[in-house]
Amino acid sequence: MLSVVRQRGSSAPGVVARERRAFSRDLVVFSELGSLTKEGTTVSDAVAEAVVELGRRRMPLVLTTRRARAQAEPLHRLLRLSSPFIVENGAAILIPDGSFRHPPLEAQREGGLWVWVLGRRRAVLGRMLVHIAAEAGARVRRVGDPSGSGPDAVQPEYGEPFVLDGDGDGARALHRAAQARGLRVRAENGCHVLAGPTDKGRAVRALAALYGAEGRLFTSIALSDSVDDLDVLRAVDRPVVVPRPEGGFDPCLTRDLRGVECAPCPGPAGWSYAVLAILRGERLRRLV
């Protein structure tokens, strides 16, 4: 696989040839938050042990989430991570100082972090929503004020939430108008207009290319219990499926990732067991 990354301080694009390998002593771990923390706010001793061991070996733990920066950054600090993290389903990558020798050229300094926007900012999307709604003849109402405080602090920075009034014809016309402008409409936890195509898998591949551009040989690992992370699991060398809290595995994951490795139990206990086992060079049980 060839990856091309342009970085600050580079005289030319970095071109890296990387072969997929079954196991490497150098790892980068991508993880969603549900399997990692208890109720999104606390970290178990077992998880802390795995996180500390990754840090001791200087192996990045990259959080991937649909949450906004204001929600994800406290968890990043709670885990005492110095690695990048991915927010809003891959719309942006936030990069602390020292993660790479040179941040990507597209990144901008914001609030103490380098922010690499892969999607579009909310203000731009809000203006575009007005235009596509007019083209589609759809009645939409924007939600909240992105410049506000309080509850607005956890609203998306790279998506525009809105309410769609009317019937299914208006929704279909709005979808078509959005696609014509390179956007997409997602009806999940309310309606959002987003830049397309952005997803967490694309952001994972972008970060993997950054690590590769600095001459780092690694095996990429991803852990998740949710079909929402299927794109992430497909983007790495070694996907690991974690059981759902109620037990068993998401059938969509087992169907699409037949033979994938799996953690032995749900939540933080399963997550930490899987990470520590991989660090010891072990293989996990495979789904059949």
Q: What is the CATH number of the domain that holds 138?
A: 3.30.980.20
Domain boundary among 137, 164, 195: 195
Instruction: Note the pLDDT tens digit of each residue in 241-267.
Output: 999 988 888 888 888 888 899 999 999
Task: Give the model's pLDDT for residue 195.
Answer: 87
37 falls within a domain: yes
212 falls within a domain: yes
Domain boundary among 138, 160, 195: 195
Average the pLDDT over each of 6-10, 41-45, 56-60 and give the range with the smallest value: 6-10
**pLDDT greater than 60 at residue 164:** yes
Task: Give the model's pLDDT for residue 189.
Answer: 67
- Residue 9: pLDDT band by 50, 70, 90 thresholds? low
Closest C-alpha to 195, from 142, 149, 129: 129
Task: Give the model's pLDDT for residue 18.
Answer: 36
pTM: 0.84
- Residue 155: pLDDT band by 50, 70, 90 thresholds? confident
**pLDDT greater than 60 at residue 208:** yes
**pLDDT greater than 80 at residue 67:** yes
Phi-psi category of residue 16: left, alpha or beta, with phi > 0 → left and psi -120 to 50 → alpha: beta
Q: Are residues 39 and 114 in the same domain?
A: yes
Domain boundary among 195, 216, 236: 195
Q: Are residues 53 and 79 in the same domain?
A: yes
The mean of the pLDDT values for the chain is: 85
Task: Give the model's pLDDT for residue 48.
Answer: 92
| Amino acid at the residue 288 | V
Q: Are residues 96 and 83 in the same domain?
A: yes
Give SS3 for 249. Answer: coil
The answer to whether 17 touches 3, Cβ cutoff 8 Å, is no
Which residues touch 212 (CB under 8 Å, ≥6 apart)? 3, 5, 14, 16, 18, 218
Q: Are residues 95 and 66 in the same domain?
A: yes
CA distance 60 to 64: 13
Closest C-alpha to 219, from 285, 281, 267: 281
**pLDDT greater than 60 at residue 281:** yes
Q: Are residues 129 and 110 in the same domain?
A: no
Q: Are residues 17 and 101 in the same domain?
A: yes
**pLDDT greater than 60 at residue 15:** no
Tell me which residue range forms the domain holding 15: 2-118+199-279
| Amino acid at the residue 82 | S
Domain count, the chain: 2
